[in-house]
Amino acid sequence: MARAYRLPGRVAEAEGALGAALWDAGCDALLEDGDDLVAVFAVPALGSAHAGVPDHTLAASSAVPPGGEWEAVDERDHVAAYFEGLDAVAVGRVVVAPTHRQALLTAGQTVLWLDPGMAFGTGHHETTRLALAALADPHLDLRGKRVLDVGSGSGLLAIVADRLGAAEALGVDVDPITLPIARANADLNRSRARFEVSDFAATAPPPGSVDVLVANLFAELHVAFMDAYARALAPGGLAFLTGILAGKEGSVEAALPAALRLVRREREGEWWLLSLERTGDDAS
Ligand SMILES: C[S@@+](CC[C@H](N)C(=O)[O-])C[C@H]1O[C@@H](n2cnc3c(N)ncnc32)[C@H](O)[C@@H]1O
């Protein structure tokens, strides 16, 4: 069951602040319909407790930006339309291919099959590509590393980390809708990546338990999680933080504790990825 929030004539803002606000409101897919931007929200099946309550009032209506209209949708139609337009994406040595496409590989490339369903993370968004490029950087050796993907969505990043030799690849996501999708994607790729439903704000990993942390969230969440990132990382460990809209990178950098050092900034379109290194200093 799904509800869509249609914003007429706003498609150009999908990857800007408007898109970010819709993801923030909990939407599960952002679609283009001509000039309209359409945000799809999965709605839990209505129990008897909700009898008589209009469906749209249950669908994050207070959190969405103004200017749009709610409509009922057939979730399957949207997923089908979304899939139709997806092609394989190559990021360095990793090619992400939706299961209904063929992928052409050049020497040294590895393919990852993906069925994103309703979860974010197809490799088509700039932020996902920035994170993929960071993990697939030929100068980074993930073999034997413990990798944590915070906000794993479709599972793509944790699965890539596993494919590139990580000893452990764990994806955590607060949204339960992502769990079966990420696990199915891991199975599809014969990946040992594991996935859990967990709110990083409530359940931080044990100190020093992570060698490489990748997180595609919003700038505000990175700021809130920064100390937990620092504690989770082992000395010398790396964090790749993306989902940071241009203009907000300064607030993330300003939140770095002494235990985290900025090593690189990458930008694609309106989005930044910051690479951080855990120093030997005490993070707490
Ligand atoms: C932009 S998507 C990233 C998906 C995928 N990792 C990628 O890079 O394409 C952000 C994900 O973070 C999850 N998320 C948001 N807040 C979170 C939190 N506090 N703890 C864990 N996951 C969270 C969302 O549910 C969503 O699936």
In the reported structure, the alpha carbon of residue 74 is separated from the centroid of ligand 1 by a whole-number distance in angstroms of: 24
Is 87 part of any domain? no
Residue 41: per-residue pLDDT: 80
β-strand partners of 164: none
The verdict on the CB of residue 152 being under 6 Å from ligand 1 is yes
pLDDT single digits (tens) 2-45: 678 999 999 888 878 898 898 888 887 777 777 888 887 876 53
**Residue at 112 is within a domain:** no
Confidence at residue 44, expressed as pLDDT on a 0 to 100 scale: 53
Q: For 61-71, what is the mean pLDDT?
A: 85
- Residue-wise pLDDT for 249-272, tens only, equals 999 999 999 999 999 999 999 999
Is there a domain that residue 88 lies in? no
Please tell me the distance between residue 52's alpha carbon and the centre of ligand 1 in angstroms: 32
Number of domains in the chain: 2
Q: Do 135 and 14 sit in the same domain of this protein?
A: no
pLDDT tens per residue across span 69-97: 998 776 555 555 555 556 677 788 788 87
For the stretch 204-219, pLDDT in tens is 899 999 999 999 999 9
Any domain includes 89: no
Q: What CA–CA distance (Å, rounded) separates 198 from 54?
A: 30
Q: Is the CB of 171 under 6 A from ligand 1?
A: no
Q: How far apart are CA 28 and CA 94, in angstroms?
A: 25
User: Could you tell me if the CB of 28 is within 6 A of ligand 1?
Assistant: no
pLDDT for the residue numbered 53: 37
**pTM of the predicted model as reported, rounded to 2 decimal places:** 0.73
- The reply to whether ligand 1 has any atom less than 6 angstroms from the CB of 155 is no
- In this structure, is residue 108 part of a structural domain? no
Distance 166 CA to ligand 1 centre (A): 21
Secondary structure (DSSP) of the chain:
-EEEEEETT-GGGTTSHHHHHHHHTT-SEEEEETTEEEEEEE-PPP-GGGTTS-GGGGSSTTTSPSS-EEEEE-HHHHHHHHHHT---EEETTEEEEETTS-----TT-EEEEE--TTSS-SS-SHHHHHHHHHHT-TT---TT-EEEEES-TTSHHHHHHHHTT-SEEEEEES-TTHHHHHHHHHHHTT---EEEE--TTT-PPPTT-EEEEEEE--HHHHHHHHHHHHHHEEEEEEEEEEEEETT-HHHHHHT--TTEEEEEEEEETTEEEEEEEE-SS---
Does a structural domain hold residue 100?
no
> Does a structural domain hold residue 145?
yes
Asked whether residue 60 falls in the same domain as residue 146, the answer is no
Query: What is the pLDDT at residue 24?
Result: 84
> What is the domain range of residue 172?
121-278
Q: Rounded mean pLDDT of the chain?
A: 84
